[in-house]
Amino acid sequence: MAEITELKGLVTKLLPIKLLENNNGQIEGVPKNPRFIKDWRYKLLLQSLTESPEMLSLKELWVYKVGSIYVVIAGNMRLRGSKEKGYKSLPCKILPPETSVEKLKEYAIKDNSGYGDWEMDSLANEWESPKIVEWGVELNGWGSEMPFVEQLDYSVLDEEDNAAQLERMAGGVKKAIQIEFENEHYEQAYAIVKFWRERGGYVGGMIMEFLKKEKGKL
């Protein structure tokens, strides 16, 4: 039977946020944090920090001391969001000073690796909630029947007051399908969607008509 191995020297402590730094490559042999966060997901993270701040205690930052500061090995986005929200201190797990470079790299990658996948049928039928997307579940492709959530940010599509726009969306019971774009196409797609939205165009209908025509050619 497998047994849990205690990590000797691991300390859990509330640290002043001014002593915490994102991993920008300060530790020799450990590359900078390879993760980034999309704008809309970052806004959901900020919302989560507002609604459920206790989760910072449930999942502490993993940090490694370098000189007088602590470099974040796991939790870089949470640190960024916490600074923006004005936190003065954060719960941290301080890794032992003898932790090897290879272990630090391993922890950084494994903490951000999702080994499992979402069971979409279960999410739709047993976890039905308009907040699923707000909680960080990314619904890809055509399988989403989840309604728009109240706080989802659509300001990237126009400069109109976001609250008023979302209120109209909720009233119209509209739904969303996530569509991915390659980096080189994103700016053009952004501009086209904004152009038609400003003119009251139903972008979803335009896309659907185009795809129906393309399907008819097959």
Give the tens place of pLDDT for each residue, 186-198.
Answer: 788 888 888 888 8
Predicted pLDDT of residue 159: 47
pLDDT greater than 60 at residue 153: no
DSSP state of 11: E
Residues 35 and 97 grouped into a single domain: yes
96-115 core/surface letters (b: 16 or more CB in 10 A; e: else): eeebeeebbbebbeeeeeee
Tell me how far apart the alpha carbons of residues 216 and 210 are, in angstroms, rounded to a whole number: 10
Q: Which residue segment(s) compose the domain that 157 sits in?
A: 120-216
* Domain assignment of residue 124, yes or no: yes
* Domain assignment of residue 192, yes or no: yes
Segment 112-146, tens digit of pLDDT: 776 666 676 666 666 655 566 667 666 543 333 33
Residues 79 and 125 grouped into a single domain: no
Last residue of a domain, one of 85, 111, 137: 111
Would you say 53 and 111 are in contact if contact means Cβ atoms under 8 Å apart?
no
Segment 97-113, tens digit of pLDDT: 999 999 999 999 988 77
Residues 126 and 207 grouped into a single domain: yes
- Domain count within the chain: 2
Last residue of a domain, one of 53, 83, 111: 111
* Domain assignment of residue 5, yes or no: no
Residues 90 and 128 grouped into a single domain: no
* Domain assignment of residue 100, yes or no: yes
